[in-house]
Structure 1
């Protein structure tokens, strides 16, 4: 059963003159939360085999720190994940092949919008309420599917959990 983990990058530095959005780095609290999110995912028994990561600096840093708890996961930087929408994210997922569990490290509002779009019958009501308000930084939505990646459509998954790495101190 394919499992999708939609992770939003951790807290990044504020936009600044002369710094492109794609180059924004994680703040110290974001680095701690990224590491914690990887631990929380592992503690939940999830073992991604494929990580699809936006090319933005903050998403790459988030994944690098998350991955310390998620060994053996192939990493693919995908330009399509930066400034994409739900259909764009679904197109990227169609290339996941036979990966059993995929983690996508991306951005808002696409991460929460995709979780809400894919969540169908049997989804956890508390998790649905959480994604309805958007995914905070260093948070991930977990969905399960009964079909291959190439057949994923609206409301065909079950949103089972929202996991957070935000329980760290500054």
Structure 2
């Protein structure tokens, strides 16, 4: 049964004049939280074999800090995941092939919207409530998917839990 991890990037530096949004890097606390998020996911026994990562600097940094907690995974850095919506994420997921566990490292509000869209019967109520309020930086929603990636659509899985790497010191 496929597993999907929807991870929001760690806390980024504040916007600054002359700095494009997609070029914003992680703040120190975001780097620490990203590393810890990878460790938390691995301790939960979840190991992605495919990483679909937004082309933004902060999402790429988040993945690079998470990745050492796992066995090597195929990586795809995709412009299609930057400033996308639920349909855009689903299009990318449908191209995941035979991957068992996929992590999408992206942005809000899209990550929580995708989790809510895919969460069907049997989803954890507490996790659903957390997703309804949006995924904070450095957190991930984990879903078990009931169909092959090519058939991913509304209510096709169960939201199991939301994991966090946020309890780190600055």
In the superposition, the TM-score normalised over structure 1's length comes to: 0.99
For structure 1, which runs of at least 5 residues remain unmatched after alignment? none
Matches within 5 A, 1:33-112: 33-112=33-112
Length-normalised TM-score, structure 2: 0.99
Q: C-alpha separation between the residues in 1 aligned to 2:91 and 2:2?
A: 16
- Residue by residue over 1:46-75, the C-alpha shift from the partner in whole angstroms, topping out at 9 and shown as x without a partner, is 010000000100000000000010121111
- Tell me if 1:3 matches 2:10: no
CA deviation after TM superposition for structure 1 residue 2, in Å: 0.5
Question: Any residues of structure 2 matched to 1:10-21 within 5 Å, and which?
Answer: 10-21=10-21
Cα distance between partner residues in 1 of 2:72 and 2:2 = 17
Deviations 1:109-152 (A, max 9, x none): 00000000100000000000000000000000000112100111
| Runs of 4+ in structure 1 over 2 Å off | none
Deviation at 1:156, TM superposition (A): 1.2
The residue matched to 2:104 in structure 1 has which SS?
strand
User: 1: distance between equivalents of 2:163 and 2:147?
Assistant: 23
Distance 2:4 2:51 in 1: 10
CA distance in 1, matches of 2:31, 2:153: 33
In 1, Cα distance between equivalents of 2:127 and 2:5: 13
Aligned to 1:129: 129
| Distance in 1, Cα, partners of 2:16 & 2:137 | 19
Q: Which runs of 5+ in 2 are unaligned?
A: none
Counterpart mapping for 1:143-158 below 5 A: 143-158=143-158
